Structure 1
């Protein structure tokens, strides 16, 4: 009986050893799942979620990048505009999407740098998403309806101090909203901020005289300036804008405190495996070498940056730190 029991134990140990050995071989034979997912990306249509309206700079960039990637990969890259709440709606959609590389957010830094300061609650956390690339930056254009009679930045500021100004923006939490707060804090001008659903409606409100002016994305204003329908006063950058060579910068006018820029970037869910993030980043880097895309960016006043990884995150964080200090000083909030 004892010999039989010992024999059974020996057989059991042998079977277990064989089973463990086979499991180890099988595990070794299986490809690394994240690496395999990265290698096959994209194998189906990819959603590029533009967090701002059609026709705006974010939408133009998303469509341009998508066209290049679609040509390179022979898979559809479909731009889906999910707009509203200063980019929160689009960002939340991607934050809650699978981290499989088939939902990518295209938006502005202000969704992550300004919105957390002014919204009582956010539908997502900044840490739910990670930037893949900061594609470009852009200054803003300070401009007015010609009927105001304002012709210079100093006249603009003086009118704000004396009678006050109504300034349109693309909505709460957008760069234009932030600009109104910067203007008030830096100059003492009284500003009535009027939010619209995008830069195009804000520009139309300025054209019609519904508002005095605004500090609006230059992309939305270039054609109106060229047609003489809008009076440009200054660009919010250190140097003049090559597309608006006759318009002074806030720096050269001695108003460096009004300097402001916006970043165009792409984000993915933070839980996305690193090999897949790197594959998407490589796709973006290749797209940015396309001459037609770079020219489209240039004529829409998007200055190429091409920052990735830690450099992209640090660029966005630097603006977040500045705006946090500004919010504390001005009480920047939803009206």
Structure 2
């Protein structure tokens, strides 16, 4: 099952070659490194980008800025970076949708994730959690029973996002009735659930955790192979009797494919240094994420395996992006 090897492990260190390359390819201090995020300020990708950006400034010897380019579930930001200069000064903060999922939902993706990007570093890996409005259900079995007789509205951070496809897969696999309602970001959708105007969504754990702890939304299941230490009272989908949904949420740094090796090594070493920073560590944990110990080649293997599973769900559900 994809995602079963992703516990809360911390990156141990970059390779000697990457660290050596970092010193030999330092950018000019006046040129900022731009991290392009496809979601609004306050969302998890934005939070992780800002945490890392602040900590990477010193090791890089250059300012790091976060540029929010919101639209199309992150596709606009991805296309901008893919078509931009490969000079090591612009990176895409990518995740499940633009890198792993959307390739299975349209024949007209404006970039090729494999051809146009190269992985630099993971920022964090987490679980998704199914949350519902108070009063709808207290466990997954009760939710499924309700949704088989009553159509539920489920939110997501955009058409083709991991939350959208996961819920579509749940509808297809369990026979419940559901209608998708896309939002520009998880905070807006979660507020709608807390207010009772939206029934449910699959959200990144870090996004939903504050409202779960306040009792404003009810957590029913997580997508990991086992319970998450942050909410140990909530079972995984498999433990609750619905296998096949061990699909993580993740965010990483991606450079245009033609970016020089030395520039990639320099940034990867700075990201590795940031992961040893106590402020970053606490911030990543507060967001409900952990850092996965993978080099760029390992990230590529992870994405290939994860993408294959998302492809299975896409084919089973028939979900497509509008051309």
Q: TM-score range by the shorter chain?
A: 0.7 to 0.9
State whether residues 285 and 306 of structure 1, in contact with CA within 8 Å, keep that contact through their aligned partners in structure 2: no
**2:243 equivalent to 1:279:** no
1:48 to 3, 12, 35: 35
Query: Following TM superposition, by how much is the alpha carbon of 1:119 offset from its aligned partner in structure 2, in angstroms?
Result: 3.4
Distance 1:251 1:283 in 2: 37
Distance 2:211 2:129 in 1: 12
**Partner residue of 1:69?**
56
Q: How does 1:192-207 map to 2 (within 5 A)?
A: 192-207=179-194
1:108 to 95, 115, 120: 95
Larger Rg, first or second structure (1 or 2)? 1
State whether residues 247 and 306 of structure 2, in contact with CA within 8 Å, keep that contact through their aligned partners in structure 1: no
Higher RCO (CA < 8 A, seq sep 6+): 2
**2:97 equivalent to 1:133:** no
Q: 1:38 to 1:115 in 2, by over 3 A?
A: farther
**2:131 equivalent to 1:146:** no
**Partner residue of 2:161?**
174
Query: Following TM superposition, by how much is the alpha carbon of 1:86 offset from its aligned partner in structure 2, in angstroms?
Result: 1.5
Q: Which moved more, 1:118-127 or 1:84-93?
A: 118-127
In the TM superposition, what whole-angstrom CA distance separates every residue of 1:45-67 from its partner, at most 9, and x where no partner exists? 11111122211111111111111
Distance 1:229 1:109 in 2: 27
Q: 1:293 to 1:37 in 2, by over 3 A?
A: closer
Distance 1:70 1:315 in 2: 28
- Which 5+ residue runs of structure 1 have no aligned equivalent? 1-34
Q: 1:36 to 1:267 in 2, by over 3 A?
A: closer
**Partner residue of 1:184?**
171
In the TM superposition, what whole-angstrom CA distance separates every residue of 1:171-197 from its partner, at most 9, and x where no partner exists? 112111011112012211121111011
Distance 2:133 2:199 in 1: 6
Distance 2:59 2:247 in 1: 35
Q: How many residues align structurally?
A: 300
State whether residues 52 and 107 of structure 1, in contact with CA within 8 Å, keep that contact through their aligned partners in structure 2: no
**Partner residue of 1:22?**
none
Structure with the largest fraction of helix:
1
Query: Following TM superposition, by how much is the alpha carbon of 1:81 offset from its aligned partner in structure 2, in angstroms?
Result: 0.7
Supply the RMSD in Å over aligned alpha carbons. Answer: 1.8
Query: Following TM superposition, by how much is the alpha carbon of 1:36 offset from its aligned partner in structure 2, in angstroms?
Result: 11
**Partner residue of 2:146?**
159
1:324 to 285, 290, 311: 311
Instruction: Provide the TM-score with structure 2 as the length reference.
Output: 0.88
Instruction: Provide the TM-score with structure 1 as the length reference.
Output: 0.85
